[in-house]
Amino acid sequence: MLSWFKQFFQSQATAPSFDKIIAAKVMSVEKHPNADRLRVIELFDGTKTISPIVCGAWNFEAGAIVALALPGATIPHDQHDPEGKSFTLSKATIRGIESQGMICSGKELGITDDGSGILLLKDTAKLGSNFSADLVR
């Protein structure tokens, strides 16, 4: 019985960390000039503009508050990996545009099974604050 408690508390200690994943507001959404299924997003973190972010999701528009992962953030679940392994985000050039981060789905953050679109946050989320599950709409 004691080993069960130990395993439980160890698993709690390894819950996903959302360091370098923040609440940000979508300021503009443009079509990617080199890809029909991608968009180029400009976001605001409460103090500065973060742009460009290349994104393939279509379930949000300007004004939405989203979870923005910045370079160096650990993404708990890679939904493009068959095993869903975590990875550390870095800047990436996608169809000729260097993306400065990644707007995350709930599945990528490991808090839902839904990876069909971007996770939308409450309008009251403080821009620039660290992401936490209680910010989700």
pTM assigned to the model: 0.86
Write out the DSSP string of 63-90: T-EEEEEPTT-EES--TTSTT---EE--
pLDDT tens digits for range 34-76: 999 999 999 999 999 999 999 999 999 999 999 999 999 999 9
What CATH superfamily classification does 18-127 receive?
A: Nucleic acid-binding proteins (2.40.50.140)
**Predicted pLDDT at 11:** 44
Does position 4 have pLDDT exceeding 50, yes or no?
no
Q: Would you list the domain boundaries of the chain? A: 18-127
CA distance 103 to 94: 14
Beta strand pairing call for 92-94 and 97-99? antiparallel
Query: Is 84 in contact with 25 (CB distance < 8 Å)?
Result: no
The reported pLDDT for the residue numbered 17 is: 72
